[in-house]
């Protein structure tokens, strides 16, 4: 029996979540019983999809749902040994006991840092890969626009598209992120939507229109992209972060879907299990060759998980937002 | 040389078109030269898609773009003889001369009235057929919601879905149309959106959710449908009439596309040429068996074409809106 902490939702946020919507709760974590493992969390993944869940799907009185990376510290389970690095969906808790369901051993490449398995080589990267290549049906050399292009998913999408010979435009909300996208990630054009009128800037940045708009934002971004879509264009819908906190404007330009025969399609990372082998091989190669670069923002200390989630909605992260629970 | 009339756009409408946006212009129609035909128009098709064109694509000084059905009165062309019934895209003119391009001889079923070739057996019906079966990928027995279900396209969609064993809900804006949909077309549930709060009425009418929302309206209709979509649902986007005159509300519920993996896709009738043989066979059968019924609103007199187009946006038509130019 060990003491450990969990983050619970204690109030459903109205608008942007506040610290008071969450509580850090200390619980007793039992030892691993027969057929069980005890896991010490190392890294927590903090993601935009968590916001809509706070409105209903996230129960009270249990750890916040989410993915993480941990180390097995006790094992009475045939498939795990103490010391194994594991990925799991056990959410925001320092330590947990599991029968192994939803927990998988990570085979880490020794040349890559552990944290990339929480973004470029994790669900984030698979979301980018499947959303762009399968849902978006990307063809080499196409015209691609990515919103929140400096975010964890967006930056992977933008660089995969570059690796496939596409012309890539990204939007972001700060000059520092814009500079990273242009200089490090090598995008063809970058729009800081807080400094420029988005519709006009996007029209200027996409002289050949848009074949794929990778949608992370919704609202004004979608309205700016729709009139620029080419015939048979595709809009893989990964997220709509502008709408998650109840704000943002309604979308008025959807009629552009009709004559352009545009396909808009929602998806989530769990749709892409069948792509995983190809994804790991491709992404490991791109990371090692430097064709896919990444940024990450790691907050140190389990108790900072609510702050990390809240910070996502004000764009405080560069790249993937993570919480380090333990080394 | 004969005098004939044309309808021209003379001012780009702001909002709902007004009579003053159009002019009836008398011109001299030449006789058919070698390789030409002269056609007397019989019926003009009046369709919602015409509204967006008034903002830019419809030039001034030429007949309004549109489809029609006419009779060849002179032929110096090998493929036509005087008396042939023809379909064409020559637009709003009483009479015209053509080299035959875009004009096709109609082979009329003697048991069916001529006007059905302007709706159920014309582009309208093909739009419904291809949009529902190919873009919507309809499966027998699915849950289907159709907006403007008493309209020309909507009523065909709703009844094709019924013929395929689906549960079909339609929306419309008058009690008379609602009664026709329930009693004549045999829909499972009908919502008069002018009398009932649409979102609540739709939720009550779709206890098993919605697999296909056939979109003709946009705005509030789309926002009501999105939260009701089932996983892997489809939204064929045929039209968004609520947005054509610049009114209507922005769409706020698009985030529902994501977790439901909904596919939204635009299309136009000309995408479905490859379906035409199957369409004509199926639709002729459904019309003769009474599985597809129709309504039509025919305004008599060429000069009423602008009135017919304006009337579409106030829902004055029951079913297909046509103008009779000549018998």
- Has residue A268 got a pLDDT over 80? yes
Interface test with A, best of B251, B260, B269 (most A CBs within 10 A): B251
Q: Which of A46-55, A192-201, B130-139, B294-303 has the lowest mean pLDDT?
A: A46-55
How far does the CA of residue B257 sit from the closest CA of chain A (Å)?
Answer: 5
Per-residue tokens: A220: 């004004």
At A49 the pLDDT is: 86
Record: contact A251-B251, CB cut-off 8 A: yes
HSE-CB of B101 using CA atoms within 13 angstroms: 1
Nearest by CB to B258, which of A252, A261, A266?
A266
Question: Which residues fall within 8 angstroms of residue A299, CB to CB, at 6 or more apart?
Answer: A305, A307, A308, A311, A321, A322, A323, A324
- Taken as a whole, chain B contains a residue count of 327
**Residue in B with minimal Cα distance to A232:** B266
- Has residue B247 got a pLDDT over 70? no
How far does the CA of residue B85 sit from the closest CA of chain A (Å)?
Answer: 29
At A248 the pLDDT is: 67
Per-residue tokens: B167: 């549960």
Per-residue tokens: B120: 């159920």
Per-residue tokens: A131: 């959303």
Mean pLDDT computed over A225-239: 97
Per-residue pLDDT band for B196 (boundaries 50, 70, 90) equals very high
Per-residue tokens: B63: 């007949």
Nearest by CB to A258, which of B237, B248, B256?
B237
- Has residue B248 got a pLDDT over 80? no
Mean pLDDT computed over A97-101: 96
- Has residue B317 got a pLDDT over 90? no
How far does the CA of residue A321 sit from the closest CA of chain B (Å)?
Answer: 21
Say if A37 is an interface residue toward chain B (CB within 8 Å).
no
Per-residue tokens: B242: 């609520």
At A246 the pLDDT is: 66
- Name the strands in the sheet holding B143-146, side by side, starting at the edge strand that comes first in the sequence: A189-192, A167-172, A143-146, A210-214, A229-237, A263-266, B263-266, B229-237, B210-214, B143-146, B167-172, B189-192
Per-residue tokens: A17: 């979540």
Average per-residue pLDDT for chain B: 95
Distances (CA, A) of B238 to A75, B49, B55, B172, B224: 57, 9, 19, 16, 17
Mean pLDDT computed over A76-94: 96
- Has residue B23 got a pLDDT over 90? yes
Residue environment code for B62-76, b if the CB has 16+ CB neighbours within 10 A, otherwise e: ebbbbbbbbbbbbbe
Mean pLDDT computed over A168-174: 96
Average per-residue pLDDT for chain A: 95
Interface test with A, best of B56, B130, B265, B266 (most A CBs within 10 A): B266
**Which domains does chain B carry?**
2-119+295-324 (3.90.180.10), 123-270 (3.40.50.720)
Chain A residues within 8 A of B51 when measuring between CB atoms? none
**Residue in B with minimal Cα distance to A219:** B252
Chain B residues within 8 A of A261 when measuring between CB atoms? 265-268, 271
How far does the CA of residue A89 sit from the closest CA of chain B (Å)?
Answer: 17
């Amino acid at each position: 029996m060990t003491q450990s902490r969990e983050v619970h939702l204690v109030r459903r946020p109205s608008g942007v979540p506040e610290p008071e919507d969450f509580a850090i709760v200390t619980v007793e974590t039992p030892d691993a019983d027969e057929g069980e493992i005890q896991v010490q969390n190392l890294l927590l993944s903090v993601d935009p999809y968590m916001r809509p869940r706070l409105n209903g799907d996230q129960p009270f009185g249990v750890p916040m749902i989410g993915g993480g990376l941990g180390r097995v510290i006790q094992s009475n389970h045939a498939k795990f040994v103490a010391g194994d690095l594991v990925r799991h969906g056990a959410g925001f808790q320092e330590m947990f006991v599991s029968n192994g369901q939803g927990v998988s051993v990570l085979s880490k490449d020794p040349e890559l840092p552990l944290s990339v398995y929480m973004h470029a080589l994790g669900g984030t990267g698979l979301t980018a890969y499947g959303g762009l290549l399968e849902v978006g049906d990307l063809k080499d050399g196409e015209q691609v626009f990515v919103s929140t292009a400096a975010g964890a998913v967006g930056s992977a999408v933008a660089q995969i598209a570059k690796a496939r010979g596409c012309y890539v435009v990204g939007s972001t909300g700060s000059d520092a992120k814009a500079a990273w996208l242009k200089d490090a990630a090598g995008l063809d054009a970058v729009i800081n939507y807080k400094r420029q009128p988005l519709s006009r800037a996007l029209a200027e940045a996409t002289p050949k229109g848009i074949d794929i708009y990778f949608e992370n934002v919704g609202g004004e971004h979608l309205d700016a992209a729709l009139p620029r879509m080419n015939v048979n264009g595709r809009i893989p819908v990964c997220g709509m972060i502008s709408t998650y906190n109840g704000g943002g404007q309604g979308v008025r330009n959807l009629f552009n879907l009709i004559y352009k025969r545009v396909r808009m399609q929602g998806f989530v990372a769990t749709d892409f299990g069948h792509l995983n082998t190809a994804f790991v091989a491709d992404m490991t190669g791109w990371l090692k060759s430097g064709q896919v670069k990444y940024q990450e923002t790691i907050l140190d200390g389990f108790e900072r998980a609510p702050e990390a989630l809240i910070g996502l909605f004000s764009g405080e992260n560069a790249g993937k937002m993570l919480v380090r629970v333990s080394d």
